[in-house]
Amino acid sequence: MLDKSRPIVVDLLADDFHERAHTVYDELRAQSPVVFAELPEQPGRGFWMITGYAAADAALRDNRLANNPRALLSEKQLAARARAQIPEPPHTMLLADPPEHTRLRRAAQQAFTSRSVTALRPTMIRHAGHLLDEAEQAARNGDGTVDLLHAYAYPLSLTVLGEILGFPDTWHTGLHDLAVRAATASTPLSGPDPALRELLENYTRDLVLLKRDTPGDDLVSRLVHPRSGKDALSDGELMAMIGLLVAAGFETSASLIASATLSLLTHPAQWAALRDNPDLAAPAVEETMRYWGPVESATMRLALAPLELGSRRIERGDRVLVFPAAANRDPAHITDPHRFDIHRRPRPHLGFSGGIHNCMGAALARTEVAIALTTLTTRWPGLSTAVPPAELRWRPGMGLRGLRRLPVRP
């Protein structure tokens, strides 16, 4: 049954969920693109789970669905929660609704325009080449293999983020470990792990103090020293903004580099096509976003008013969880959805979400991953996986899809 009194139990938090996610999505979608689901660990805390493209697209654009989990609480309830010291989620644009969302997003978006991203291209190309030099040397000194995820994808993503935010190179190792652990530990249903959140806060606090004293040409310096008082963020907003950018931008881009490389290596004709024609890098990025996009499920939404999605009635106060990964393989939306094909046209996807919360770093991620792929195919044209692809595993954690490692032979 598909009504709220009989939720479908879906084991989204299982360690091996990503290995079988698309079978689960296909089965659910065949019943209905919008079902009422709950986790085995959280009985009675159901939510509408969206696996169909049309319903997902509509939900992401519907302003009756709020991102602020406290949107329906009264002033009195909020004050009572504050008195009881109930921990609240960080004050980020991702968990805010207009007009607050608009103000927070405006404060940072200039660093992510296509002009800003184009200015970063030479730096990305230089770093990608440099990282492959180092990895090649390490492979030569070792057993001839490299873990592409940890030697190339993560460091490239972190270096690019460091250029934008202005954090010192000496922080890379610590931030790398922290962000990988955070990506595994937090989900749209459990929120961030408190211990990891505290560690990230320590970094962001140090960064704010650093930029207060010695500003540079970077986003955090501009946020700490705004041109006008009306653009100023509170200390809490500033910290939350930096935390969000690290959480949203680091692991996702790195996972996409690894997933795209694996997809291409397991489809050798497509790897060869990209090697011979670098113009195919952008289509390869888009097809990987559709096929193995790093964001499996979006942020939980809360219905502020009744609405209809996929012919289901959503009541005020209901929770709604969109799965871009499932929507992107909806056979009602795209032909032969489980086939990876960089030549496919058109291939619209929701991997960067939609509506007002569409990914602010999408242009950056697209450029960075395309550069990572063309540098790889140019420098290591004969690249192959160093273990049978069937042995590779996805990290646990339902919100994000990323490989645990990607051993390759240059």
Q: How far is the CB of 409 from ligand HEM (least distance, A)?
A: 26
What secondary structure letter does DSSP report for 149?
A: I
Location of structure tokens 């790889």: 376
Q: How far is the CB of 88 from ligand HEM (least distance, A)?
A: 17
Q: How far is the CB of 388 from ligand HEM (least distance, A)?
A: 26
Q: Which residues contact 205 (CB under 8 A, 6 or more apart)?
A: 239
For CA atoms 200, 201, 202, 207, the dihedral sign is positive
Answer yes or no: are the C-beta atoms of 400 and 296 closer than 8 Å. Answer: yes
Annotation marks residue 391 as catalytic: no
Burial class (CB in 10 A: 0-12, 13-18, 19+), 71: middle
Burial class (CB in 10 A: 0-12, 13-18, 19+), 84: exposed
Q: How far is the CB of 206 from ligand HEM (least distance, A)?
A: 19
Cα–Cα distance for residue pair 144/27, rounded to 1 Å: 42
Tokens of 305: 């008013």
Closer residue to ligand HEM, CB minimum distance, 324 or 397 = 324
Work out which of 18, 91, 105, 222 binds ligand HEM, going by CB under 6 A.
105
Out of 253, 263, 297, 353, which one is annotated catalytic? 253
Annotation marks residue 359 as catalytic: yes
Answer yes or no: are the C-beta atoms of 161 and 249 closer than 8 Å. Answer: yes
Q: How far is the CB of 227 from ligand HEM (least distance, A)?
A: 21
CA distances from 152 to 36, 133, 283 (A): 40, 10, 21
Burial code (b: 16+ CB inside 10 Å, e: under 16) for 204-227 equals: beebbebbeeeeeebbbbbbbeee
Annotation marks residue 253 as catalytic: yes
What secondary structure letter does DSSP report for 296?
A: S
Work out which of 298, 307, 325, 327 binds ligand HEM, going by CB under 6 A.
298
List the x/- string, 128-167, binding to ligand HEM by CB under 6 A. ---------------------------------x------
The answer to whether 295 contacts ligand HEM (rule: CB under 6 A) is yes
Burial class (CB in 10 A: 0-12, 13-18, 19+), 342: buried
User: Which residues ranging from 235 to 294 are in contact with ligand HEM (CB under 6 A)?
Assistant: 244-245, 248-249, 252-253, 256, 293-294
The answer to whether 361 contacts ligand HEM (rule: CB under 6 A) is yes
Cα–Cα distance for residue pair 37/320, rounded to 1 Å: 10
Q: How far is the CB of 292 from ligand HEM (least distance, A)?
A: 10
Work out which of 25, 323, 352, 394 binds ligand HEM, going by CB under 6 A.
352
- Mind spelling out the 3-state secondary structure of 31-63? HCCEEEEECCCCCCCCEEEECCHHHHHHHHHCC
Annotation marks residue 315 as catalytic: no
Helical packing angle, 362-379 and 114-141, nearest 10°: 40
Closer residue to ligand HEM, CB minimum distance, 104 or 274 = 104
Task: Give how many residues touch ligand HEM by CB under 6 A.
Answer: 26
Work out which of 280, 360, 403, 406 binds ligand HEM, going by CB under 6 A.
360
Applying CB under 6 A, the span of 31-39, 171-179, 360-368, 372-380 interacting with ligand HEM comes to 360-368
Work out which of 55, 56, 93, 321 binds ligand HEM, going by CB under 6 A.
93
Out of 153, 359, 370, 372, which one is annotated catalytic? 359
Annotation marks residue 308 as catalytic: no
Could you tell me how far CA 219 lies from the centroid of its own chain? 20
Applying CB under 6 A, the span of 6-14, 50-58, 143-151, 361-369 interacting with ligand HEM comes to 361-369
Closer residue to ligand HEM, CB minimum distance, 139 or 296 = 296
User: Which residues ranging from 24 to 83 are in contact with ligand HEM (CB under 6 A)?
Assistant: none
What secondary structure letter does DSSP report for 152?
A: I
Cite the active site residues.
248, 251, 253, 359, 368
Contacts to ligand HEM by CB under 6 A: 93-94, 105, 161, 244-245, 248-249, 252-253, 256, 293-295, 298-299, 324, 351-353, 357, 359-361, 364-365
